[in-house]
Amino acid sequence: MRPWGYAPSLLLLLAAGAPAGKQIVLHGNDNGAMPCAACHGINGQGNAAIGAPALAGMPAPSIVSTLNTLAARPSATAPMPSIAAALTPRERRDVAAYFSSLPKPAS
């Protein structure tokens, strides 16, 4: 097999991140993560009334690292630690890819 034979499938895999992330953002996952959109808004615009920050247009790496930090935070009462912990590392990257692909909310 030519070494570059894998390139197209690798690209497909990377591009698949955002749609998989959208699924989780809108519907949650089977591991108890609530849909992100319920609090952060369908367009990732956030919801000031409940203190959920906007995630749209945020760089994916910073979303992933925040989720990793939240998931590792023990016994926090806020909703995010348990939600973050319910996401696999792959799912954290997928939701981050999706949110970062959305246009930043005008504020």
Q: How many CB atoms lie within 10 A of CB 13?
A: 10
Residue 52: which of 79, 32, 71 has the closest Cα? Answer: 79
Of the pair 18, 67, the CB lying nearest ligand HEC is at 67
Q: How many CB atoms lie within 10 A of CB 15?
A: 10
> Tokens 């615009």 map to which residue?
45
Distances (CA, A) of 75 to 41, 46, 70, 78, 80: 26, 24, 11, 9, 11
Of the pair 87, 102, the CB lying nearest ligand HEC is at 87
Of the pair 18, 24, the CB lying nearest ligand HEC is at 24
CA distance 14 to 11: 5
Least Cβ distance, residue 19 to ligand HEC (angstroms): 15
Of the pair 11, 73, the CB lying nearest ligand HEC is at 73
Least Cβ distance, residue 99 to ligand HEC (angstroms): 7
The residue ranges that bind ligand HEC (CB under 6 A) are 24, 33-34, 36, 38-40, 50-53, 55, 63, 66-67, 78-80, 83, 87, 95
